[in-house]
Structure 1
Amino acid sequence: MSSAHVEDGQGQSTGNDVRRLRTHDMEIGITDAVQRHVQRHVVAPKPVTQRRLDFEHARPRWFREMAAEALGVFFYVYPGIASQASFFLNGTEPIFGSLFQIGWAYAIGIAFAIIICGPTSGGHFNPAITLCFAVWQGFPWSKVPRYIFAQIFGSFMAGLILVGQYHPQLMLLAAGLRKQGISPNSLGGPGSILCSFPGPTETNYGYLFFIEFFVDSFIGIVIWAVLDPANPFIAPASAPFIIGLAYANMIWGFANVTISTNLARDLGTRIVAAIFFGGDAFNRYAPIAILVNVPATLFATLVYEILLRDSFAIIAKGHNVHEDGEEGLTRHLTKTGTLEEGITSNIARRNDYDAPYQNGKAEESPV
């Protein structure tokens, strides 16, 4: 990289001075630029070609949404199971990780998934969330099957790639367990890196159901609160990290007693575990890990919709409308005796603004 070397008034060197650079190139290190708080001149991007626009316009919307859901689940699952592999394959040595690190791996993976893929598909990444959107928010039921398939496929690919990357170590661990008469699909085995298996003393499946149900309900209600447009504490930039932290909270609290948290995350990687380490991956616990997520999340969102949702606040903030328009909103305010001057003034102003356009053409402005 080239640089500009200048001297101050006393003839002392001041090092790189980006203000002397006018070549429109990236000529100094990023660290220097950040430390100096100087806006650099960089090479302008080339114009977008019509060929590029035509290509992007021709992409099927359904395919883009499925790809985004699959990639999103991949970005969420892959760092989590990679962190688990690093930890368990090295004898749970602290230098290679911890439960705390694994929680953060999933949390940041979820944030990355939402940031990267959310703008394309809406960022569901969980079959239970997709179903809740269909039940409560009018998400098209026709899209539900393909979203869920894509989510499971993304998890499957994450597990498949991880097995490829750690194949020698995983096979060695599996062989050692088989010699001891222990299934690789058990806690501490290679299968447990990919999906959830209870410990040998965890034989009370009602207890495991109870834990999974309320863990998933906790995550579900946090997600629903984050997505509530009337929530004053959530900014769009913070939402991915809040949702990620909800998952991490539950991992830190309950991973030692076995949790799954997401149908797609568990089922996709469980299929991989069954392929490489035996069909007993689908053991008696598997239905709890795979299926409880859906009723638990529906329960959580039901609680939020009944007890916490404030649709009037959402309408008042301009994030939604009454089904009968402003006439319906005025009727509601009159009926409830909460006809507030601020809201009615806004309605009146909006009506005055829309009046000239009601006949399909604008009349002359009175001013």
Structure 2
Amino acid sequence: MNRQSIGELISEAMATFIIIGLGDSVACMYVLYDPSPYANAYWGVCIAWGLSVTIAIYVTGSVSGTHANPAVTLALAMFRGFPWKKVIPYSIAQVVGAFVGAAIVYVLFAPVIDHYNQVHQLTREVGGAAGVFFTHPGSFVTPMHALVDQVILTAFLLLGIFAITEQYNEMAPGANSGALIIGLLVATIGASMGYLEAWAINPARDFGPRLFAYFAGWGSSALPAPDNYWWIPIIGPLIGGIVGAAAYQWLIYPFLPARQRAQQQPTNR
């Protein structure tokens, strides 16, 4: 592995570290405090998650492209020519970064987590405050319904990302503003659908913190989780990413006027 490849993996780990370090922290602010500063301002939670993605892109995008999500990496390999040999290393780096990000959140909020569990007569073993680290089904949502939800939510995510980053899309944001729009896309998905199961839409975002929580005392409430839920925020986003990317590549990309003009230009020989 050459120096550039190592740098790309560090970049991907750093990206998910930033996203989880900031995103799970706002989850702590939402869950652990009474009254919560976000009790009547849920959009604040969504925008914090979205801007964490934006910041991650600005920090790491020049090195690795800031996939920060195995579902994005897989979709780019299938439809945008990203090297298949990098898919697994990128995904592992993303999980590692998310794991370390969760560890930082724990360092920050451990006393508050313990106080919350004490006040509510909960323990880590039964899942007390686990929701600040990883996702779980919301009210009235079964695990299998959550799987369908994650496919749909991640399809929206990749549909948007492919549109925002497409060179032939004349409506895509210009200069370096794409990072902000992707962040707003993440925030919008959370604001419109996040209560279903906390909008994982990213296997690394869920599994990295879930793995950390397992070792930090949450045990089986993290892995395998009630109803063996742990695999749903992994498989659902991977499928959904393919669906959303395919929808853009097959239903929008062929009809982009700029692409059609480029195809009609004579080749210089």
TM-score (norm 2): 0.88
How far apart, in 2, do the equivalents of 1:97 and 1:236 lie? 35
Q: Which residue of 2 aligns with 1:9?
A: none
Q: Unaligned regions of 5+ residues in structure 1, if any?
A: 1-58, 318-328, 334-342, 352-367
Per-residue CA deviation, residues 323-361 of structure 1 (Å, 9 max, x unaligned), is: xxxxxx6xxx6xxxxxxxxx34xx4xx44xxxxxxxxxx
Counterpart code for 2:200: S
In structure 2, relative to structure 1, the CA distance for the partners of 1:180 and 1:95 (3 Å cut) is closer
How many residues align? The count is 261
Q: Which residue of 2 aligns with 1:286?
A: 230
What's the CA shift for 1:196? Answer: 0.7
Is the 2:201–2:237 contact (alpha carbons within 8 Å) kept by the matching residues of 1? yes
How far apart, in 2, do the equivalents of 1:203 and 1:118 lie? 35
Alignment of 1:261 onto 2:214: no
Q: Which residue of 1 aligns with 2:155?
A: 217
Q: Which residue of 1 aligns with 2:253?
A: 309
Q: Which residue of 2 aligns with 1:16?
A: none
Counterpart code for 2:116: L
Query: Which has the larger share of helix?
Result: 2
Q: Which residue of 2 aligns with 1:363?
A: none
**For 1:61-76, what aligned pairs fall within 5 Å after superposition?**
61-76=4-19
How far apart, in 2, do the equivalents of 1:85 and 1:75 lie? 15
Asked which structure has the greater CA Rg, the reply is 1
Alignment of 1:296 onto 2:234: no
How far apart, in 1, do the equivalents of 2:125 and 2:41 lie? 24
Is the 1:195–1:266 contact (alpha carbons within 8 Å) kept by the matching residues of 2? yes
* SS in structure 1 of the partner of residue 56 of structure 2: helix
Is the 1:82–1:162 contact (alpha carbons within 8 Å) kept by the matching residues of 2? yes
Q: Which residue of 2 aligns with 1:191?
A: 130
Counterpart code for 1:223: I
Counterpart code for 1:314: R
**For 1:1-367, what aligned pairs fall within 5 Å after superposition?**
60-94=3-37, 98-177=41-120, 179=121, 184-185=126-127, 189-199=128-138, 201-202=139-140, 204-234=142-172, 235-258=174-197, 259-276=199-216, 277-282=218-223, 283=225, 284-310=228-254, 313-314=258-259, 316-317=261-262, 343-344=265-266, 347=267, 350-351=268-269
Is the 1:77–1:158 contact (alpha carbons within 8 Å) kept by the matching residues of 2? yes
Is the 2:69–2:203 contact (alpha carbons within 8 Å) kept by the matching residues of 1? yes
In structure 2, relative to structure 1, the CA distance for the partners of 1:97 and 1:125 (3 Å cut) is farther
What's the CA shift for 1:299? Answer: 0.8
* SS in structure 2 of the partner of residue 257 of structure 1: coil
* SS in structure 1 of the partner of residue 26 of structure 2: helix
Is the 2:160–2:182 contact (alpha carbons within 8 Å) kept by the matching residues of 1? yes
In structure 2, relative to structure 1, the CA distance for the partners of 1:168 and 1:232 (3 Å cut) is same
Q: Which residue of 2 aligns with 1:40?
A: none
Is the 2:126–2:221 contact (alpha carbons within 8 Å) kept by the matching residues of 1? no
What's the CA shift for 1:160? Answer: 0.5
What's the CA shift for 1:168? Answer: 1.2
How far apart, in 2, do the equivalents of 1:279 and 1:158 lie? 21
What's the CA shift for 1:203? Answer: 5.1
Which is worse superposed, 70-79 or 275-284?
Answer: 275-284
What's the CA shift for 1:256? Answer: 1.8
* SS in structure 2 of the partner of residue 286 of structure 1: helix
Query: Identity rate of aligned residues, in percent?
Result: 23
Is the 2:26–2:48 contact (alpha carbons within 8 Å) kept by the matching residues of 1? yes
Is the 1:80–1:105 contact (alpha carbons within 8 Å) kept by the matching residues of 2? yes
How far apart, in 2, do the equivalents of 1:262 and 1:147 lie? 13
What's the CA shift for 1:263? Answer: 0.4
What's the CA shift for 1:304? Answer: 1.2
